[in-house]
């Protein structure tokens, strides 16, 4: 029997590609079931974690049905309680991107928001914000010792009328003591600044003990720590230099070693084979001719990296898209476009660029798209990896190259090991990575919950 099969039993809801399950498995949990709507994410989960994934709409796939299936399969005994239900119900209205997008739809009377009178959207306006109620129903059916629910930190500042939404959610879990805390994944070994609100609930009949929030680490990994071994050479003022010459922290080395060595083992004991020197999903979108020029002007603000007399990057002030356009149009951008055989002109107050094949692009309005392009700092944790990468990665320009990050680089920032293989198109893979719970954050939470389970069992 696999060691994970003798651990405390857990169910993963809104499981995505399996970041939460992977971390919980590593902590010692036996994941007996998972529910995920998206077929690509569900297949990624099956390939890496196991065939216990139910690719179904959780609003229609009731908790009682899952309990019956688990009993019939022998994974759960009649009237048996499990140790943990975990998951991250998607609530797009709570994220800054989600609020902005939905508010715009309401303001302009589009889609499902045509009848909405108030353009500032409320929690009740988007049915996806009610998905946490399905999480509540599963907790009610299975009555686990603990539950763990993850969501965007923006939820903490939201309210319905005068009641904070956090308090409303906590009251829905009858029979449980519930606490919430905002955690930054960077504090738990993830090379990414990712703030998430974590709800932890314990059944009221358990012994009283501190809620199992993990203690945090002070030393953060930076972006270069995460992806240094994925870069063979980087451009410098002295030509192309082997990236191995850059000194790296011991913590960065340990992280990269774990990403390379951490083998994903499915429930059928099959080892997922994505840990070769050729990394899977190490792909990104092609940048068009106009943006290849623009990327050269986007600066992260990172200090230079030096080894002896070799300067790997120039230490320059941070520059985002709003800093270069239209301010630098005539003095810097137009000559650079011409140098790259591109034509640039202004007509009726609008700015255009075209290549010699006749492909024409309109420049992004700087007022509306000031943050359209940003370069990742090599000396800081990555910015929050988001599902919007499925549409474009212009806010995730590589620290050294004039391109956006690859799926595998985004996965490293999320702390997915190299053996974890994503299925589906590139667009789908970016979405899966951006929506996932970082495995190392899940592992840290899982270890603390297991300590509490052991404490309760020994009492």
| CATH code of the domain made up of 3-219+437-458 | 3.40.50.150
pLDDT beyond 80 at 61: yes
Residue with more model confidence, 319 or 248: 319
Closest CA to 33 of 1, 78, 59, 65: 65
Give residue 191's pLDDT. 97
Give residue 114's pLDDT. 53
Residue with more model confidence, 124 or 52: 52
Long-range pairs of 377-380 with CB within 8 A, sequence gap ≥ 24: 377/222, 377/223, 377/300, 377/301, 377/302, 378/222, 378/223, 378/224, 378/300, 378/302, 378/305, 378/313, 379/222, 379/223, 379/224, 379/302, 379/303, 380/193, 380/220, 380/222, 380/223, 380/302
Confidence of residue 109 (pLDDT cuts 50, 70, 90): low
Q: Are 178 and 148 in contact (CB under 8 A)?
A: no
Give residue 348's pLDDT. 94
For the residues 63-79, what does the mean pLDDT come to? Answer: 96
Diameter of the chain measured on Cα atoms: 77
For the residues 176-191, what does the mean pLDDT come to? Answer: 95
pLDDT digit string, tens, across residues 414-453 = 999 999 999 999 999 999 999 999 999 999 999 999 999 9
pLDDT digit string, tens, across residues 163-175 = 788 998 999 999 9
Closest CA to 373 of 415, 324, 408, 411: 324
Q: How far is C-alpha 192 from the geometric centre of its chain's CA atoms?
A: 9
For the residues 335-339, what does the mean pLDDT come to? Answer: 97
pLDDT beyond 60 at 211: yes
Q: Which of 91, 209, 264, 380 is catalytic?
A: 91
Q: Are 250 and 373 in contact (CB under 8 A)?
A: no
Does pTM surpass 0.75?
yes
Closest CA to 191 of 227, 165, 155: 227
Question: What does the CA dihedral 93, 98, 103, 105 come to, rounded to 10 degrees?
Answer: -110
Give residue 110's pLDDT. 54
Average pLDDT along the chain: 86
Confidence of residue 276 (pLDDT cuts 50, 70, 90): low
pLDDT beyond 50 at 113: no
pLDDT digit string, tens, across residues 373-387 = 999 999 999 999 999
pLDDT digit string, tens, across residues 397-410 = 999 899 999 999 99
Give residue 106's pLDDT. 45
Between CA 271 and CA 25, with CA 410 as vertex, the angle to 5 degrees is 35
CA atoms of 19 and 298, how far apart (whole Å): 32
pLDDT beyond 90 at 322: yes
For the residues 215-229, what does the mean pLDDT come to? Answer: 88
Q: In whole angstroms, how far apart are CA 265 and each of 83, 304, 422?
A: 22, 40, 15
Confidence of residue 303 (pLDDT cuts 50, 70, 90): confident
Residue with more model confidence, 134 or 111: 134
pLDDT beyond 70 at 364: yes
Q: Are 48 and 40 in contact (CB under 8 A)?
A: no
Confidence of residue 161 (pLDDT cuts 50, 70, 90): low
Give residue 120's pLDDT. 40
Give residue 118's pLDDT. 46
**Beta-carbon contacts of residue 435 (< 8 Å; ≥ 6 apart):** 16, 17, 41, 90, 387
CA atoms of 335 and 133, how far apart (whole Å): 57
Residue with more model confidence, 235 or 89: 89
Q: Are 202 and 452 in contact (CB under 8 A)?
A: yes
380 is catalytic: no
pLDDT beyond 50 at 312: yes
79: left (phi over 0), alpha (psi -120 to 50) or beta: left
As annotated, the residues of the chain forming the CATH 3.40.50.150 domain(s) are 3-219+437-458
pLDDT digit string, tens, across residues 23-56 = 999 999 999 999 999 999 999 999 999 999 999 9
pLDDT beyond 50 at 124: no
Give residue 98's pLDDT. 45
CA atoms of 194 and 95, how far apart (whole Å): 12
Give residue 411's pLDDT. 98
Give residue 335's pLDDT. 97
- Tell whether omega for the bond before 292 is within 30 degrees of 0, i.e. cis: no
Phi then psi for 348, rounded to 5 degrees? 55, 40
Please count the other Cβ atoms lying within 10 Å of the Cβ belonging to residue 75. 16
3-state secondary structure the chain: CCHHHHCCEEEEECCCCCHHHHHHHHHCCEEEEEEECCHHHHHHHHHHCCCCEEECCCCCCCHHHHHHHHHHHCCCCCCCCCCEEEECCCCHHHCHHHHHHHHHHHHCCCHHHCCCCCCCCCHHHCHHHHCHHHHHHHHHHHCCCEEEEEEEHHHHHCEECCEEHHHHHHHHCCCEEEEEEEEEHHHHCCCECCEEEEEEEEECCCCCCCCCCCCCCCCCCCHHHHHHHHCCEECCCCCCEEHHHCCCCHHHHHHHHHHHHCCCECCCCCECCCCCCCCCCCCCCCCCHHHHHHHCCCECCCCCCEECCEECCCCCCCECHHHHCCCCHHHHHHHHHHHCCCEEEEECCEEEEECCCCCEEECCCCCCCCCCCCECCCCCCECCCCHHHHCCCCCCECCCCCCECCHHHHHHHCCCCCCCCCCCCHHHHHHHHHHCCCHHHHHHHHHHHHHHHHHHHHC
Confidence of residue 128 (pLDDT cuts 50, 70, 90): low
pLDDT beyond 70 at 250: yes
Give residue 455's pLDDT. 86
């Amino acid at each position: 029997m696999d060691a994970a099969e003798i651990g405390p039993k857990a169910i993963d809801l809104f499981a995505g590609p399996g970041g939460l399950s992977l971390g919980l498995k590593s902590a010692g949990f036996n994941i007996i079931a998972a529910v995920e709507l998206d077929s690509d994410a569900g297949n990624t989960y099956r390939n890496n974690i196991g065939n216990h994934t139910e690719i179904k709409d959780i609003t229609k796939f009731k908790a009682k049905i899952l309990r019956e299936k688990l009993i019939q399969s022998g994974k759960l005994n009649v009237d048996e309680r499990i140790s943990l239900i975990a998951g991250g119900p998607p609530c797009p209205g709570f994220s800054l991107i989600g609020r902005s997008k939905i508010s715009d739809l309401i303001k302009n009377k589009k889609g499902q928001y045509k009848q909405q009178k108030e353009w500032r959207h409320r929690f009740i306006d988007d049915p996806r914000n009610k998905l946490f109620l399905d999480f509540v129903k599963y907790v009610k059916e299975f009555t686990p010792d603990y539950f763990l629910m993850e969501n965007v930190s923006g939820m903490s500042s939201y309210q319905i009328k005068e009641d904070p939404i956090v308090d409303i959610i906590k009251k829905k879990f009858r029979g449980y003591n519930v606490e919430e805390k905002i955690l930054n994944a960077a504090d738990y070994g993830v090379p990414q600044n990712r703030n998430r609100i974590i709800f932890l609930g314990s059944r009221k009949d358990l012994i009283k003990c501190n809620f199992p929030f993990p203690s945090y680490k002070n030393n953060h990994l930076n972006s270069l720590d995460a992806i240094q071994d994925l870069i063979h050479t980087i451009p410098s003022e002295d030509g192309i230099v082997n990236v191995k010459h850059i000194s790296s922290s011991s913590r960065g080395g340990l992280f990269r070693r774990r990403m390379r060595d951490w083998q994903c083992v499915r429930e059928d004991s099959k080892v997922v084979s994505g840990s070769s020197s050729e990394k899977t999903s190490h792909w990104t979108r092609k940048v068009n001719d106009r943006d290849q020029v623009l990327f050269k002007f986007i600066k992260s603000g990172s200090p230079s990296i030096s080894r002896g007399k070799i300067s790997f990057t120039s230490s320059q002030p941070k520059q985002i898209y709003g800093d270069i356009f239209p301010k630098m149009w005539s003095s810097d951008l137009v000559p650079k476009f011409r140098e790259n055989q591109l034509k640039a002109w202004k007509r009726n107050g609008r700015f255009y660029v075209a290549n010699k094949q006749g492909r024409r692009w309109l420049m992004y309005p700087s007022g509306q798209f000031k943050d359209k392009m940003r370069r990742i700092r090599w000396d800081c944790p990555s910015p929050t990896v988001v599902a919007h990468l499925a549409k474009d990665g212009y806010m995730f320009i590589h620290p050294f190259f004039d391109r956006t990050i690859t799926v595998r680089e985004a996965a490293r920032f999320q702390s997915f090991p190299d053996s974890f293989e994503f299925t589906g198109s590139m667009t789908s893979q970016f979405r899966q990575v951006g929506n996932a719970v970082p495995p190392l954050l899940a592992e840290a939470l899982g270890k603390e919950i297991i300590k509490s389970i052991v404490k309760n069992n020994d009492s």
